[in-house]
Amino acid sequence: MSGDTFFFYAFSALALLGGLGTVLLRNAVHCALALMTSLLGVAGLYLLQGAEFLFAVQIVLYIGGIMVLFLFVIMLVNLDQASKLQQFGRQTPIALVVALAAVAAIFSMLSKSAVLLPASVSLTPLTGGNTETVANVLFTDYLLPFELVSILLLVAVVGSVMMAGKRTE
Amino acid sequence: MITINHYMAVSAALLLIGTVGVMTRRNIVVILMSIELILNAVNVNLIAFSKYHNQVTGQVFAIFVIAVAVAEAAVGLGVLIAMFRNKGTVQADEVDLLKW
Amino acid sequence: MPANFMPSAAEYFRFAPEIILTIVGTLVMILEAMTGDRDKSSLGYVSLLGLAAAMAAAVAANNDPGLAFQSMIIVDGFATFFRVLVLGVGMLTILVSTNYLSEAKANSGDFYALILFSVVGQSLMACANELIMIFIGIEISSIASYILAGYLRDDRRNNESALKYFLMGSFATAFLLYGVAWIYGLTGSTNLGEIRTVLSHGTAPTAMVGISAALMLVGLAFKVSAAPFQVWAPDVYQGSSAPISAFMSAGPKAAAFAVMVRVFYTSFDSISNQWEPVFWIMSLATMVIGNFAALQQRNIKRMLAYSSIAHAGYVMVAVTSHSAVGTAAVMFYLASYCLMNIGAFAVVTWMARDGEKFVEVDDFSGLAQKQPFVTAILTVLILSLVGVPLTGGFFGKFLVFKAAIDSHLMWLAILGLLNSAVAAYYYLRVLVVMYFREPGASTVNLPPVAGTLRVAMLVTTLGTIALGIFPGLILGFATQSSTLGK
């Protein structure tokens, strides 16, 4: 087993087991920790695919930022009591059956043919470091969406402050 | 040999886990986390496709997905806190003032 | 660094409406902080001016159609039509909400800024030529609407509405995103035109292209509230404030239909034999579910929600016909739908009053004796929703079913017509209650109709009548731009 293969299976296992933990664990804090594990595994997969910049973003922003936000809220709304309640809703059996069928369908599809995608279209090799290439594309071709994301974040900031902000009465 | 199919399988599995989480869990915070899982499944796909096509478009796309995930998490948790203050619950099926 | 990367003046010109809206939105938020405790209605007028300026810019941009910013956006007749439509929806929403917000003591610049930003997102959806742009447009529009749905945060119904809208909405967009990722993997591009070229070669496995298209359809069907992804709409429309329900039932829906038509007609044109049957079933299911569920509603907001689902079904019929006539029908129908639906919600806003106590159909009893002006307005709007001749609703339905018959969708057209007959029943019930019942507790002490609300009612009603008598007003433009600059 080569290094790449080993790391692929290791990171995938981390991502999937973490995901299962998120969905199955009872206590919300444990769920958040499991989700962090999963995100870490996904970050490892980025690294294997040569996306170093996204690897860093995933660790710093996702695990460092979003997850802390989740933990804050979990503390704030005090989920101790919630964890003693029944955790799964009424649709659980249906969801599980559908999920199992989907798993079977996907894996039978993936195991059949060698490569599912049509041959790659771009043949120009990428030059330079990953971060540099990403920055070049982001700030030329995708400049407009990049600017627009700032509107999105502005809306999110205004919205969450409005929703969760202190009441002035 | 690890091919693109393996990455697509991992991504599909993450999507399924997330979907099952959204559909079965009652705790809204956990539902939000499950949505984050789905967004990560999308990103695994994008990164693998990006490598496969030998471009960085997929990686740029993934950056946008992460930005949107941040925005959604912030707004979702904000809405959750507003509801928790008024109603004192974070269970999805106790949100029943309006018929589902 | 390529030298030609700097955008040209023409490109900024094509993007001017969004730039204007963003600037005005930010300005309104700054003014909000500066005006302190004073009445904020004036900020509503600032926003109205901004929307009007953006509309002028959108019309002007149509004189110089083309691509902009590395083919990220495309300005053509189709895009211009939907831009003007969503901007108009924004203006009407502000007119409907100012008085409502003042009464609820919740008038603030943030509200108007959120409306403006949401409209920016919808306007982007109308002119996006790229899957990434579509995705970001949808997200800006939806995140702003999630917050608007829960704007009165001390009201439990608002809380629930926002939460449901948010949870189901972000779940649906996650699926859309998964489909987009697969399309990128299959074609190596996110540009709609390039995707079309690659898919027409037929090298990509059809099954996978079909699955990706289906995943994208899940997200879009959610936004237009087409069956089986319509469950959220009644709850969310009922729980939100009436002006916001008006907004959500019009703007985001029209923009999502624009995206649906553009993506499926351009990019997925070569696999149309796969998606047409799916659309056929979905449009029928949407009409049937919307109309039959509306029959049983006592709450008028809920009834209008189901009726708006049914109207989405009619538009889906036009989309299914997959022709230039169908595209023109989609455009015309959505324009008249937005007018009559916002008008109807404007009346509901006025009737509901502070705290939304009067939102039952029976609360309209005897309105004809007490308030003839509003009664007349609502009568015209309801006749248009039914599809009576001389109203915009009639011509919309006429065009939709004509497009369906032209594309040999005879059964769909017949079933659709039967559906409109069912719809007549629940709409006319409102008229019966208004004209033939004695005034009840809700109609004794009616509030005056505020000036802005009166303007909104008049504009929507006159617009509906104008579209019914002179459909050529916009039909000519719609037909011209229905080829979608392929």
pLDDT per residue rounded down to tens, chain B (100 residues): 778 888 888 899 999 999 989 888 888 889 999 999 999 999 999 999 998 888 889 999 999 999 999 999 999 999 988 888 887 777 777 666 665 4
pLDDT number for residue C3: 47
Chain C residues whose CB is inside 8 A of the B92 CB are 167
The 10s digit of each residue's pLDDT in C296-336 is 988 999 999 999 999 999 999 999 999 999 999 999 999 99
Chain C residues whose CB is inside 8 A of the A119 CB are 203
Q: Which residues of A touch C (CB under 8 A)?
A: 116-122, 136, 140-145, 148-149, 151-152, 154-156, 158-159, 162-163
C481: number of Cβ within 10 Å: 22
Q: Which residues of C touch B (CB under 8 A)?
A: 132, 135-136, 139, 143, 146-147, 150, 153-154, 156-157, 159-164, 166-167, 170-171, 174-175, 177-178, 181-182, 184-185, 188-190, 231, 234-235, 238-239
Residue in this structure with the two tokens 């007490």, named with its chain if needed: C370
Which sign does the torsion angle of CA C54, C60, C62, C67 carry?
Answer: negative
Of A121, A151, A158, the CB nearest to C188: A121
C-alpha to C-alpha distance for C368 and C378, rounded to whole angstroms? 10
Contacts (Cβ under 8 Å, ≥6 apart) of C404: C317, C318, C320, C321, C326, C410, C412, C413, C416
* pTM, rounded to two decimals: 0.94
Structural fold of domain A1-82: Four Helix Bundle (Hemerythrin (Met), subunit A) (1.20.120)
Range B27-91: architecture per CATH = Orthogonal Bundle (1.10)
A151: number of Cβ within 10 Å: 23
pLDDT number for residue C83: 94
pLDDT band (50, 70, 90) for residue A124: low
Cβ–Cβ gap B26/A120 under 8 Å? no
Of B9, B52, B57, the CB nearest to A110: B9
Domain map of chain A by residue range?
Answer: 1-82, 127-169
pLDDT number for residue A105: 75
Q: CA of C287 to nearest chain A CA: how many angstroms apart?
A: 26
What average pLDDT does range C447-476 have in this prediction?
91
Of A149, A154, A163, the CB nearest to C136: A149
Q: CA of B72 to nearest chain A CA: how many angstroms apart?
A: 7
The 10s digit of each residue's pLDDT in A8-43 is 999 999 999 999 999 988 888 899 999 999 999 999
pLDDT band (50, 70, 90) for residue C205: confident
Q: CA of A29 to nearest chain C CA: how many angstroms apart?
A: 20
A110: number of Cβ within 10 Å: 16
The answer to whether residue A117 neighbours chain B at the CB level (below 8 Å) is yes
The 10s digit of each residue's pLDDT in A80-93 is 666 666 667 777 77
Chain B residues whose CB is inside 8 A of the C178 CB are 15, 38, 41-42, 45
C-alpha to C-alpha distance for C263 and C133, rounded to whole angstroms? 12
The 10s digit of each residue's pLDDT in A42-56 is 999 999 988 899 999
The answer to whether residue C364 neighbours chain A at the CB level (below 8 Å) is no
Q: Show which subunits contact C, needing at least 3 CB pairs below 8 angstroms.
A: A, B
Residue in this structure with the two tokens 């509030």, named with its chain if needed: C447
Of C143, C147, C239, the CB nearest to B98: C239
| Identity of the residue numbered C64 | D
pLDDT number for residue C4: 60
Cβ–Cβ gap A145/C73 under 8 Å? no
Tell which wins on pLDDT, C88 or C9: C88
Cβ–Cβ gap B98/C182 under 8 Å? no
C-alpha to C-alpha distance for C78 and A146, rounded to whole angstroms? 25
A75 burial level (CB within 10 Å; 0-12, 13-18, 19+): exposed
The 10s digit of each residue's pLDDT in C143-187 is 999 999 999 888 888 888 999 999 999 999 999 999 999 999 999
How many whole angstroms from its chain centre is CA C470?
Answer: 22
Separation of first and last alpha carbons in chain A:
66
- Interchain CB contacts (distance < 8 Å): A and C: 82
Cβ–Cβ gap B66/A45 under 8 Å? no
Q: Which spans in C322-450 are helix H?
A: 324-352, 367-370, 372-386, 392-406, 410-436
Mutate to test the interface with B, among A37, A49, A76, A122 (most CBs of B within 10 A): A49
